[in-house]
Structure 1
Amino acid sequence: MAAQNFSYTFKTLKSPEDIFKTLLDPKQWWNGLHNEMITGKAEQQNDVFVFDAGNGVHHTVQKLIEVIPDQKIVWEVIDSNLTFAKKTNEWTGTKISFEISKEDHNTKIVFTHDGLTPQFECYDGCSSAWLQYLAELEKNLN
């Protein structure tokens, strides 16, 4: 049986272009819950940004490895330090992505944290935090 990556799907009436523009800037959606600080760029392939949250509890560095306008965004976590986990680099090598598609009169957004599986020590806490961020994003996009 394959590992189950964390995923979240929702729909909105906003256009794929508007959604893409919002998602490409993590400051617009990965923010506002845990004293986050985001530095760097996330606009073009190979851009790198740093995400810090929880007053030093969560530190990750993401590199934009795939960008298809209005369709797909993929960041690879190239460094991580999760001080609350025994394996502090648990996120390193995982991928965070959004896939955007038209479905009927809606835009469908599929978020996946590829590599964040129930086998990870941080899975419960991390998936819970993702749910908070993504539910807020969904609310703001509707």
Structure 2
Amino acid sequence: MVDILQRVGVVAPRETVRAALTTIDGLAGWWTEDTVGDAAPGGEIRFTFEPGSIAVRVLETAPDVVRWEVVDGPAEWVGTHIVFELAQEGEYTIVRFRHEGWAEPVEFMAHCTTKWATFLMSLKRLAETGVGEPAPADVRVSDWH
């Protein structure tokens, strides 16, 4: 198994970042505008992008960690876990991100690594300025979007 790992420092209170990860409005503000569902533990959230969608089951929304299991979407994603760990370091809320459990490091994983980086920068912008760049306004990184 292999994982995607990212680390981003956000100059915003941890609660602001946590709200962007644990509410439908927050998620729609940085990942994709087409976000619906129940963001509470046990709930399911569906994120729709061009050309498809991803559904996650919310496993945990503790003060310092948000954890999801992918239950629908690209075959490479189903069964993987998406984890956001939050820590305060000075003026920064540090977001330690993992998309864990990929079966192998395929080309699609390389694409997703880059896309996660762009979306985490969108999360940073949302928390710091109030305006993110969720899909469909996100950065296109290739012909896969």
TM-score, length-normalised on structure 2?
0.76
Equivalent in 46, 71, 82 of residue 78 of structure 1 = 71
CA distance in 1, matches of 2:77, 2:93: 29
Call closer, same or farther: CA 1:126–1:68 in 2, change over 3 Å: same
Query: Aligned to 1:122, what secondary structure does the other structure show?
Result: helix
CA contact under 8 A between 1:23 and 1:29: conserved in structure 2? no
Q: 1:15 and 1:141 mapped to 2: Cα distance?
A: 8
Distance 1:101 1:28 in 2: 21
Distance 2:47 2:126 in 1: 21
Is the Cα contact below 8 Å between 1:6 and 1:117 reproduced in 2? no
Q: Match for residue 80 of structure 2?
A: 94
4+ runs deviating over 6 angstroms = none
Residue equivalent to 1:13: 11
1:8 deviation in Å? Answer: 1.4
Q: Normalising to structure 1: TM-score of the pair?
A: 0.77
Q: Secondary structure at the match of 1:137?
A: helix
Q: How many residues are treated as equivalent by the alignment?
A: 125
Q: Confirm or deny: 8 A CA contact 1:37 1:51 kept in the other structure.
A: yes
Bigger relative contact order, structure 1 or 2 (CA pairs below 8 A, ≥6 apart): 2
Q: Which residue of 2 aligns with 1:51?
A: 47
CA RMSD across the alignment:
1.9
What is the DSSP-based 3-state SS (H/G/I as helix, E as strand, rest coil) of the residue aligned with 2:78? coil
Query: Which structure 2 residue ranges, 5 or more long, are not aligned?
Result: 129-145
1:63 paired to 2:57: yes
Give the CA deviation at 1:47. Answer: 0.8
Structure number with the higher helix fraction is 2
**SS class of match (2:12):** coil
Q: Which amino acid aligns with 1:13?
A: V
Q: 2:12, 2:91 within 8 Å by CA — same for their partners in 1?
A: no
